[in-house]
Amino acid sequence: MKRAGFSTKWMPIMLLMPQLVIIAIFFYWPAWHAIQSSFYLQDPFGFGSTFVGLENYTDLLGNSEYRRVALFTLVFTVLVTFFSLAIALLLAVKADNVLRGARTYRTLLMWVYAVAPPVAGFIGLIMFDQSWGPLTRLAGFFGWDFVLGVNFNDTAAAMVLVSVWKQIPVNFIFFLSGLQSIPRSVREAALIDNGSATGRFWDVTFPLLAPTGFFLLIINITYALFDTFGIVDTLVKGEPGNNPMTLVYKVYVDGFRGNDLGGSSAQSVILMVLVLALTVFQFRLIDRRIHYT
């Protein structure tokens, strides 16, 4: 087979250059710096640094505060991933039943996706405002004295809620298009074979959505771990001390507020390893992904 090619080997390199430069400046260089500084102890006033080997890492593992944040991040990620996938799937199934292919509805639901995380966080702040936030009032109506930013659990709940809300549209769109790509006749065959709608969902629809589901699972874990930074920042602004935060937010708090550059670098290296692991996992899944015909 004849392949289209470039006449000189410089041409492709030139074409790749802008992308490579951006990756190098914004990813490889800082990543390299983080790895480097994770082995040093930074003088709090920025006057110098001492090589401490793996001490930053061992400190982290022994640190109960770090373990507490890690545990919260785990719980947070599980909750956000589970609820944003489950609710989106439910909405997608309902929407698919009512209007196969109606565009306007999809676009409307997609709007939330366009909201930037800090803005989503800010909307959360308004919804949970102490004196007039509608959700605070709603909670109050049920006898729940909701105090955002003061009570750990309340703040955590708001964080999960806003993060889930922000992620549902993406999942919804993917699930809906996944549902609509299931051939009509396969659904109809199931309609004849199985009288129960729930049975049909679990036996036919859900397995056929599995490839979409796996893909979204990874996307959602990554989202909960990293992309919720803006939401966390807005919701706990000023008071990180007693409030729940995620590992990514702690990197920022320790590094830029606490000036512990070494420790925060070690934390970010750990997160990098986590991303790497997730990526490998995802590629494996895509490799093995079942292709239905």
Partner 1 sequence: MAQVTLNSVRKVYPNGVEAVTSSSFKIEDGEFVVLVGPSGCGKSTLLRMIAGLEDITEGTLEIGDRVVNNVDPADRDIAMVFQNYALYPHMTVRKNIAYGLKNRKTPADEIERKVAEAAKMLNLEEYLERKPSQLSGGQRQRVAMGRAIVRDPALFLFDEPLSNLDAKLRNQMRIEIKALQRRLGVTSIYVTHDQVEAMTMADRIIVLNGGRIEQIGTPSEIYHNPASVFVASFMGAPPMNLIDATITGGQVTLADGVAMGALQTSAQGAVKLGIRPEDVQLVSEGGVSINVELIEELGAHRLLHGKLGGQPFTIHVLKDIPVDPGAHQISVDPAAICLFDAASGMRL
Task: Tell me whether residue 100 or residue 257 sits nearer to partner 1 (CB atom).
Answer: 100
Q: Which of 56, 18, 21 is nearest to 37 (CA)?
A: 56
List C-alpha distances in Å: 164 to 119, 132, 160, 234, 282: 14, 22, 6, 15, 22
Lay out the site mask for partner 1 across 251-290 (x = CB under 8 A, - = otherwise): ---------------------------------------x
Task: Tell me whether residue 203 or residue 227 sits nearer to partner 1 (CB atom).
Answer: 203
* List 18, 195, 238, 241, residue binding partner 1 (CB under 8 A): 195
Stretch that binds partner 1, among 65-73, 84-92, 201-209, 240-248 (CB under 8 A): 201-209
Cβ neighbour number for residue 68 with a 10 Å cutoff: 13
| Size, binding site for partner 1 by CB under 8 A | 22
Sites for partner 1 among residues 41-100 (CB under 8 A): none
By CB under 8 A, tell whether 30 contacts partner 1.
Answer: no
By CB under 8 A, tell whether 189 contacts partner 1.
Answer: yes
Q: How far is the CB of 184 from partner 1 (least distance, A)?
A: 9
Backbone angles phi, psi at 41, to 5 degrees: -105, 120
By CB under 8 A, tell whether 193 contacts partner 1.
Answer: yes
Q: Are 84 and 167 in contact (CB under 8 A)?
A: yes
Q: How far is the CB of 221 from partner 1 (least distance, A)?
A: 24
Where residue 93 falls (left for φ over 0; alpha for ψ -120 to 50; beta otherwise) is alpha
Which token pair is 75?
């719980």
By CB under 8 A, tell whether 202 contacts partner 1.
Answer: no
Distance, in Å, from the CA atom of 263 to the CA atom of 153, rounded to the nearest integer, reads: 27
What is the biggest distance separating any 2 CA atoms in the chain, rounded to whole angstroms? 76
* List 11, 20, 207, 242, residue binding partner 1 (CB under 8 A): 207
Q: How far is the CB of 281 from partner 1 (least distance, A)?
A: 22
DSSP 43: P
Stretch that binds partner 1, among 66-74, 85-93, 198-206, 229-237 (CB under 8 A): 198-206
Instruction: Report the chain's terminal Cα–Cα distance, integer Å.
Output: 27
Q: Which of 128, 146, 113, 116 is nearest to 230 (CA)?
A: 116
By CB under 8 A, tell whether 198 contacts partner 1.
Answer: no
Which token pair is 211?
């490839």
Task: Tell me whether residue 104 or residue 293 sits nearer to partner 1 (CB atom).
Answer: 293
Stretch that binds partner 1, among 37-45, 72-80, 144-152, 206-214 (CB under 8 A): 206-214
Q: How far is the CB of 98 from partner 1 (least distance, A)?
A: 13
Decide: helix, strand or coil at residue 289.
coil
Helix 64-98, helix 152-180: angle, nearest 10: 40
Burial class (CB in 10 A: 0-12, 13-18, 19+), 115: middle
Q: How far is the CB of 86 from partner 1 (least distance, A)?
A: 21
Q: Given the rule CB under 8 A, which residues bind partner 1?
A: 183, 185-186, 188-196, 199, 203-204, 207-208, 210, 290-293
